[in-house]
Each structure stands twice: as structure tokens, then as C-alpha cells.
Amino acid sequence: MKNKMLRNGVEMPEVGFGTWKAGETDGFAVLSEAIRAGYRHIDTASAYHTEEAVGRAVAASGVDRSEFFITTKAWKDQLGYDRTLAAFDASCQALGMDYLDLYLIHWPGEDMYLPSWKAFIRLYEEKRIRAIGVSNFYP
């Protein structure tokens, strides 16, 4: 699969497997099949309730974690500096991973994205996240 170079030099696969609806079925089985089919970029979010299934499928795949590009997102109720730090830790725990490839603010929400962005920068500087960004923001 082709990769896209992010602004910080991190390469991200152009095609990823989204998990928004995977939690409505056997998420582990769906994700395991996606990995067998060759997907290495997996997009999840705390709001999707699929992070645990993603982590289990990655761990069971036999493919080294470094071969994957894992994206997850902080939801509106997880915004604010301390809440974002706690949400990050909860996502990593659910995923069974000690770092993320891409962490996004899932939705703007009530002016709390600026303190969250500061938490993102801290986590990025601590090398716990390889890239940071936003989702569903208007220009």
C-alpha cells in the first residue's frame, strides 16, 4: 500500500481500516480478517468502543506492532488538558500499546480543544504519539 508523508515526516498508509461499526459485531473477528487481508493502518476511537478489539487483533496477528499504524481519537467529553491525558492513557491501556501512531481530537467541542492540544503536544514531545491532529473540524 502507498504511504502519505505527514508534515512531521511520519509515513502513514493512505488506506486504512475504519472500525466505527466493527463494535456492532464481533470486532475481534472483523479486525483479524482485515489484518489478514493486509490492512496495517487501523482507525479507531474511544467513542467507537473498538480499541480493545483492535489491540487484541493486532497482538494475535503475529505481525510486529511496528508494522501497524494505529490511529485513535479523543471524544468531546475527553477534552481539557487533564482529561485528554487520562483519555490517552485509557486508550493505550485498552489497545495494549505504549504508543500511538496518530492521535486526533475527534470533534471540536465547546472550546476545550486548545487545552487538549497542549496535552497532545506534551504527549508528542514525550514520544508517546508519533503524530497529532484533528478530525471533523471546519476550516
Catalytic residues: 48
DSSP symbol at 71: E
Q: How far is CA 70 from CA 31, 43, 101, 115, in A?
A: 12, 6, 5, 23
Q: Which of 53, 92, 56, 57 is nearest to 72 (CA)?
A: 92
Neighbours of 8 (CB within 10 A): 9
Q: Which distant-in-sequence residues (6+ apart) come within 8 Å of 97 by Cβ?
A: 55, 58, 65, 70
DSSP symbol at 66: G
